[in-house]
Amino acid sequence: MSEEGLEQKFIQEAFDTNWVVPLGPNVDGFEKDLEKFVGQDKRVVALSSGTSAVHLGLVNCGVGPGDEVITQSFTFCASAHPITYLGATPVFVDSEPDTWNIDPELMEEAIKDRIAKTGKTPKAIVPVALYGMPYKIDRIMKIADQYGIPVVEDAAEGFGSRYQGQVLGTFGKYGVLSFNGNKIITTSGGGALITSDDDEWRKVMMYATQYRESYPYYQHEKIGYNYRMSNICAGIGRGQMTVAEAHLAHHRHVQSLYEKLFADVPGIHVHSQPATGDFDSNYWLCAITIDEDVRIKDQENAYKTIVTSAVGGAAGVIHAASQAITDCQPNDNVEALREYLNKAGIEGRPLWKPMHKQPVYCGRSEKGKAMIDSLPSGAVCYTYDNSVAYVNGVSEAMFKIGMCLPAGPCVSDDDVQYIVETIKSAVI
């Protein structure tokens, strides 16, 4: 049966058996599939989104008002916003150059500096598998354990990626997966939290279903959330699990094709995993960097017009930007290439803009600027009203020269060939 066929079968079953609710046989079945997939005797709770999984992971770590939580600055906002939802303060840590993920050394420096400055240890650490690339989880866990800090792995983009052979999301106390429409597998929208044991699983399950106690009536002893995945979405998930390995193989194949075809293109580099043998990225998206001296056709006109819709046609962006530029944006040649590709029917996207450069986190200081101090390593600590950042410059530098290229299940070998040829033709 085809992929769509299986998904429709599970969904039809949900209707036939009257399970059109946020629980049921598809939810149970999908969770069992996921538990088998991630291994390590983990328990999994299927949720309505990856964001809610980050949120519940932090809730279960006891994060609350006045706490601080360390996370990677170079990420999608969903790694950070749930920290703010809980009244806690995100402490953004910059990246290392090889993986683009949280720099373990800088992370330890940040922990020490937080303890020195606040007298308190950060309440959790959220590393992120950026574009599927594994973070150096052995180093991260060693430091986290040394300071007694629980780790919530944001493997939303790293479904099926492995470090030293072990699936991401299974190293920390909790692991986050996302099944949003653009991720490796999708349930239209959805996510999951990987938990360490039955006790943790039970707690997460309680929080995900409004924290209802076992009485014949509704008894609430804690504040819960309505975060359970629907049985319809889980039906899609069960269908998708039958093709997960094929999707993963496809992403890795597309990456290797990009690597091969870009090998002889000067000034353009494909972001690839370190060759130590520890890394096995799912290569969710192919990311390239473009040297600043590479000239792209029509580059002098980059950023001359105000964009009236979000890049990527993002849902929810309903107002035009107020100005064509910001104080932190991709270089002119990157923007010119994005426009060039767009005209050729190819969607190139900027990398995630680092959280410590987002106005919502860095633009709200009382005096309009941060308290700034330098650290022994040469990194800089910025203290804002609602966030703290430990910055070595790596994520901002990558954001300025980077771009993501299409890599999904519909991207064929011919497409990759066309994309690379188009990029070559854009270079002057």
Ligand X SMILES: *Cc1c(COP(=O)(O)O)cnc(C)c1O
Binding site for ligand X (CB under 6 A): 49-51, 54, 75-76, 78-79, 128, 154, 156-157, 178, 180, 191
Give the C-alpha separation, 269 to 261, whole Å. 11
Planar angle of CA 407, 319, 304, nearest 5 degrees? 75
**Min separation Cβ 60 and ligand X, Å:** 17
**With respect to ligand X, which residue has the nearer C-beta, 171 or 340?**
171
**Min separation Cβ 90 and ligand X, Å:** 13
Handedness of CA 21, 22, 28, 31 (dihedral sign): positive
**With respect to ligand X, which residue has the nearer C-beta, 128 or 204?**
128
What is the widest separation between alpha-carbon atoms in the chain? 72
Which regions of 28-67 does DSSP assign to beta strands (E)?
43-47
**Min separation Cβ 178 and ligand X, Å:** 3
Helix (H, G, I), strand (E, B) or coil at 378: coil
Burial label, 143 (beta-carbon count in 10 A; 0-12, 13-18, 19+): middle
**With respect to ligand X, which residue has the nearer C-beta, 81 or 400?**
81
**Min separation Cβ 79 and ligand X, Å:** 5
**Min separation Cβ 246 and ligand X, Å:** 21
What are the residue ranges of helices labelled H in 48-182?
50-60, 81-85, 104-118, 137-147
**With respect to ligand X, which residue has the nearer C-beta, 127 or 348?**
127
Give the C-alpha separation, 68 to 63, whole Å. 8
DSSP state of 23: B
**Min separation Cβ 71 and ligand X, Å:** 10
**With respect to ligand X, which residue has the nearer C-beta, 339 or 396?**
396
Place of tokens 């700034």: 372
Q: CA-CA distances (angstroms) from residue 367 to 328, 334, 401? A: 20, 33, 31
**With respect to ligand X, which residue has the nearer C-beta, 76 or 340?**
76
Which residue in the shown chain puts its C-beta closest to ligand X? 50
DSSP per position, 210-233: TTB-SSSS--BSS---B-BPPHHH
**Min separation Cβ 67 and ligand X, Å:** 20
**With respect to ligand X, which residue has the nearer C-beta, 351 or 391?**
351
**Packed helices 25-38 and 3-16: angle between N→C axes, nearest 10 degrees:** 140
CA 123 to chain centre: 20
List, in sequence order, every residue forming a beta bridge with 43; answer none if it has no partner.
195
**With respect to ligand X, which residue has the nearer C-beta, 157 or 200?**
157
**Min separation Cβ 70 and ligand X, Å:** 15
**With respect to ligand X, which residue has the nearer C-beta, 156 or 398?**
156
**Min separation Cβ 49 and ligand X, Å:** 3
Compute and round to an integer the Cα radius of gyration of the chain. 22
